[in-house]
Structure 1
Amino acid sequence: MKILLVEDSYIERRKLGAFLDDWGFEHVGVGSGTEAVKLLEAPDPPNLALLDWLLPGLDGIDVLRRIRKIDQGNYIYTIMLTAKSQKKDRMIAMEAGADDYLSKPVDSGELRSRIMVGKRILELQQSLRFAATHDFLTNLLNRSEILAALDREFARGGREGKPTTVILADIDHFKRVNDTLGHAAGDEVLKEVARRLKLDLRPYDVVGRLGGEEFLIILPGCSLTAGARRADSIRNLVGKDPVNTPFGTASTTISMGVTSTCSSRDRSVEEFLREADLSLYAAKKNGRNRVEIFTAASKAAAAGEI
């Protein structure tokens, strides 16, 4: 956990910083509200802020109000440190967005206890956030989150003039695994396939489970040709070895459909996904365990049979 210490007194900042060092916390110290806001509004901000009330420029209350207006995805837990100790002062700080309030002079033992409370709350929030955005079985992004990620990448690619390629993947003959080895074995296969899908991805690629045995992979800034090569590499990784489960061994392959925004034709996210789905249909129709790229011919063929 990273802590931001905002205190205009250099001596007090050094003293509190020494406590944080002794307790093993990573931290950064600044002396003004303006510096604090800059760090708290940056990507990957500190998780917890120890915030003095009386600061040059923006005061602690101003800082609180600014950061509470920002939706960064990760909540910043704040503890107000101040000599103001009247009830009305605590109410002002809490209404501005402070999570806790500690009067000066600061007792080191009490400060550590308050920080540990904040740490526990942040960890619980992180666990709840993970549960809300990830598939419970595979730990990949769940359907709503992977589709939201696709919306973001689709829009970003359009703004920046860069391609976005998607791979729609489906485990071949997955019903046979459930029917012959049981649903518990099927769950093990899903977890192992999910693990293998990530082996050849870049740090900024995104993968999620759409539902059942179907997965979506987003490749930002990737051309259709490069995306097809990546899909074939992933296909080989998934099908190279059978999946061993406590209930038996399953030979597992996947079919994949690939499409990209590389073409000049404008379309919606829904049409984009439809293209990937038609390509996946073509891969299934043409024998499974293969990659198919979206083309006008595949669209016409699928339209005639679906």
Structure 2
Amino acid sequence: MKIMVVDGDELFARLMRTKLQRWGHRVVVERDGTAAFERIRKEPFRMVVLDWDLPGMDGPDLCARIRKLRRARYTYIIFYTGKLDKDSLMAGLEAGADDYMTKPLNTIELRLRIKNGKRLLNLEDELCDGAGLDRSTNVVNRAKFRQFFRVALAEAKRTKAQGTLLYVDIDNYAEVYDRLGYNPAENMMTEAARLLTKLTRESDLVARVAPERFCVLLQNTVWDRCQPVTDKVHAHLGNLTIYVDEASINPRFTLSVVNYPQAEQGFEQILDEAPRTAVAA
């Protein structure tokens, strides 16, 4: 699990990192609240362990700002403090922390709190994946799409029908992520998903099958008859602009298609191995 530790005490932070790494976690350390928030804004962490008293931005402030960020997966926050009064503890929890520990930290207690947080995150992941939707874009996720396509392929073979998989790769997703951070990159994908859903038929299925990729299942439509769809995608997605703070983002994208069924190929072979035909504007 990817964990950020935020503590102004360099020695303490180093000791915390050593313990967490020994328990199998990937750990990033930040020394002040402002730097930590900027890192978290651009790079998702599953868990943040932080001190109450931090330079730059204190612990409760940092918690509150993390909670305002848009995230595909929940960020579990544990804070630790020497303040034992009820008001201080309530302030941390009301700011968005999930758990707290008191100083001096006990290694056994720390490990138990981390394990408990990880268990809750795993449970949340299972519930979200089982729902079948990508939480950022609200279209079908990869796992659910593969299940659906398996059934669609079997039905197409049975009825001797044909269909097309239209892949939409957002080529500058990684660039936007690296330059502006997670939220702007996901906003771009959300707007692209909304547009694809609007441009396709109700009988079609839009799915996010990779961080930077959508796949549209066009049933009963082979490549030479789905060109009106690709023309609309080129025209509308090519003119899409997303505004984030003072920046504007225009998705750069590539379209490609695969027809199905294909001889004796199964659904996994078609999804993972079948060559795709590029679609020019």
Aligned residue type for 1:206: F
Equivalent residue, structure 2, for 1:153? 192
Aligned residue type for 1:90: L
- Greater Rg over alpha carbons, structure: 1
Q: In 2 relative to 1, CA 4–259 (structure 1 residues): closer, same or farther, beyond 3 Å?
A: same
| Contact 2:2 2:27 survives alignment (8 Å) | yes
State the distance in 2 between where 1:36 and 1:17 align: 15
| Contact 1:80 1:100 survives alignment (8 Å) | yes
| Contact 1:49 1:79 survives alignment (8 Å) | yes
| Contact 2:79 2:101 survives alignment (8 Å) | yes
Aligned length: 200
Instruction: Give the SS at the match of 2:144.
Output: coil
Equivalent residue, structure 1, for 2:167? none
Q: In 2 relative to 1, CA 156–5 (structure 1 residues): closer, same or farther, beyond 3 Å?
A: farther
Equivalent residue, structure 2, for 1:121? 120
Match of 2:144 among 123, 129, 139: 139
Q: In 2 relative to 1, CA 149–207 (structure 1 residues): closer, same or farther, beyond 3 Å?
A: farther
Residue 34 of structure 2 is aligned to residue 34 of structure 1: yes
Residue 63 of structure 2 is aligned to residue 64 of structure 1: yes
Equivalent residue, structure 1, for 2:263? 240
Q: In 2 relative to 1, CA 213–26 (structure 1 residues): closer, same or farther, beyond 3 Å?
A: farther
Give 1:97 deviation, angstroms. 0.5
Equivalent residue, structure 2, for 1:206? 214
TM-score, length of structure 1 as denominator length: 0.54
| Contact 2:48 2:77 survives alignment (8 Å) | yes
Q: In 2 relative to 1, CA 137–155 (structure 1 residues): closer, same or farther, beyond 3 Å?
A: closer
State the distance in 2 between where 1:154 and 1:243 align: 27
Residue 54 of structure 2 is aligned to residue 46 of structure 1: no
Runs of 4+ in 1 over 3 A off after TM superposition: 133-138, 148-151, 154-157, 216-223
Residue 42 of structure 2 is aligned to residue 19 of structure 1: no
TM-score, length of structure 2 as denominator length: 0.58
Q: In 2 relative to 1, CA 72–137 (structure 1 residues): closer, same or farther, beyond 3 Å?
A: closer
| Contact 2:30 2:36 survives alignment (8 Å) | yes
State the distance in 2 between where 1:112 and 1:213 align: 54
Aligned residue type for 1:13: A
1:1-306 aligned at under 5 Å gives the runs: 1-42=1-42, 44-134=43-133, 139-140=144-145, 152-153=191-192, 204-207=212-215, 221-222=252-253, 227=255, 230-231=256-257, 234-235=258-259, 238-241=261-264, 243=266
| Contact 1:167 1:259 survives alignment (8 Å) | no
Equivalent residue, structure 1, for 2:270? none
State the distance in 2 between where 1:202 and 1:92 align: 39
The Cα offsets for residues 188-240 of structure 1, whole Å up to 9 and x where unpaired, read as xxxxxxxxx99xx9872212668x989x99897446xxx4xx32xx116x413
